[in-house]
A and B are shown apart, each in its own frame.
Chain A
Amino acid sequence: MAGKFIVLEGIDGSGKDTQFDLLKKNLKEQGLKAAYFSYPDYGSQFGRIIRNFLASKVKLGPDSQFFLFLADITKDSRNIRELLNKNDLVISKRYVFSSVAYQCAQGLPYDKAKLIVEMLDLPKPTLTILLHGQVKETLERKRASRRGDVFENDLRLMEKVGGLYERMFSNSFFSERWKLFLDSGTKNSISGEILTEVMSVV
């Protein structure tokens, strides 16, 4: 597997979408060949249920959410590996870390969640980038742009999610390296730093 697998993580509103799009543009300018994934995959059967859940149209406990989100990722496992053989990079916006963070924040035992992820034989990222900031400010920025989903509307939950991301970062969980980017700088300065970081692993 010649290609490097990079994951972009963070709570809702941390700037993932913006940075994902900027990274795409930057990598193209660098002449690098990359494939892109984004989770949840709303185009899939799994994603459709997840969307209904996020829109509070269906209620699911943390256990069911966890397996559902992981199923959504697992379906692409083989494809990701094949793309890593054909590309310089595979970049994913959200990955298993989102499942661990969001579902453990709702009470799923962290050690159990980690064990299940490790058992799944999924591609392990070379680099996981965590976009991290003050939860309250991040959510306010998010709410200003659109109505929140079932997670975004719960500040206490999001603080727990943030804490779990920090925990995974300090454990270097399921990734060769984690890199934390604090929410202090313009979107362009952050994208510049992210590009530097990604180029260092290529």
Chain B
Amino acid sequence: MNGKFIVLEGLDGAGLSTQVALLGEHLNSNGIHFLVTKEPTNSLIGGISKAALSQEWRTSPDALQLLFCADRAHHLSSEIEPYLAKGKVVVCDRYLFSTLAYGYASGVNYKWLRSINLKFRLPDLGILIDVKPKTAISRLGEEPSNLHLFERQETVSRVRQAFLSIAKEFHLKKVDGEKSIMQVSERINSLVDKFLHV
């Protein structure tokens, strides 16, 4: 079997990390060799991208996007491509679609974002875990004031809409993330099984 590149995407609070871990267990139980990875990566470049995201230091939105691209390029050449070349499955927690969605919602020109990211390999299977903004925010354990909540919801809603639009554009499979963890996991497992002809 040739290597397959599977990507999970969604809002912060959609349950990506949980579902990626569960998918890993499922693949394991089917005897499939796989790698679980994520973006931004744990490399030096990924580290400073994460620091910029959590506002530990600031830079221009465009520069930040290029930094994500640098991390992505490094991720592909050092981890993803080698694993795929060995015929393994790679499951990635966030990829360029997150960059497109969050970047666009933060005010960066979508056409520009798209063009700098489309030089990167697209996944063989992309899954969007879709949740309502309120769900995402409450799962993150936030209890902001009314005004802050409204602003938060506005922002998160923008990102969610961006993801939905991106899912259409890039033919990502949409999964209803409002359901229970196990129900979401079963749906993802069946999508992946079908895709891998298991």
Tell me how far the C-beta of B82 lies from the nearest C-beta in chain A, rounded to whole angstroms.
12
Q: Is the interface of B mostly helix, strand, loop or mixed?
A: helix
Q: A63-B70, A64-B70 are in contact. List 5 more A-B contacts (CB 8 A).
A: A52-B44, A71-B59, A71-B64, A74-B60, A74-B62
A-B residue pair count with CB separations less than 8 angstroms: 73
Tell me how far the C-beta of A179 lies from the nearest C-beta in chain B, rounded to whole angstroms.
29
- The interface bits of chain B over 53-80 (1 if a CB of A lies within 8 angstroms of the residue's CB, else 0) are 0000101101110110111011011100
Does residue A49 face the partner (Cβ distance < 8 Å to B)? yes
Name the B residues within 8 Å of A44 (CB-CB): 59
Residue of A nearest to B76 (CB): A63
When the two chains form their complex, are residues B77 and A64 in contact, meaning their CB atoms are under 8 A apart?
yes
Name the A residues within 8 Å of B67 (CB-CB): 46, 67-68, 71
Of the 9-residue stretches B112-120, B155-163, B175-183, which lies at the interface with chain A? B112-120
Docked complex Cα distance between A44 and B48 (Å)? 11
29 residue pairs bridging A and B, Cβ less than 8 Å apart:
A44-B59, A45-B48, A45-B51, A45-B59, A46-B48, A46-B63, A46-B67, A52-B44, A60-B70, A61-B73, A61-B77, A61-B78, A63-B73, A64-B70, A66-B73, A67-B73, A68-B45, A68-B67, A71-B64, A71-B67, A71-B69, A74-B62, A74-B66, A75-B59, A75-B63, A77-B60, A112-B119, A119-B116, A121-B112
Q: Which of A49, A58, A70 contacts B66 (CB 8 A)?
A: A70
Tell me how far the C-beta of B51 lies from the nearest C-beta in chain A, rounded to whole angstroms.
8
When the two chains form their complex, are residues A78 and B60 in contact, meaning their CB atoms are under 8 A apart?
yes
Q: How many residues of B are counted as interface, with CB atoms below 8 angstroms from the partner's CB atoms?
A: 25
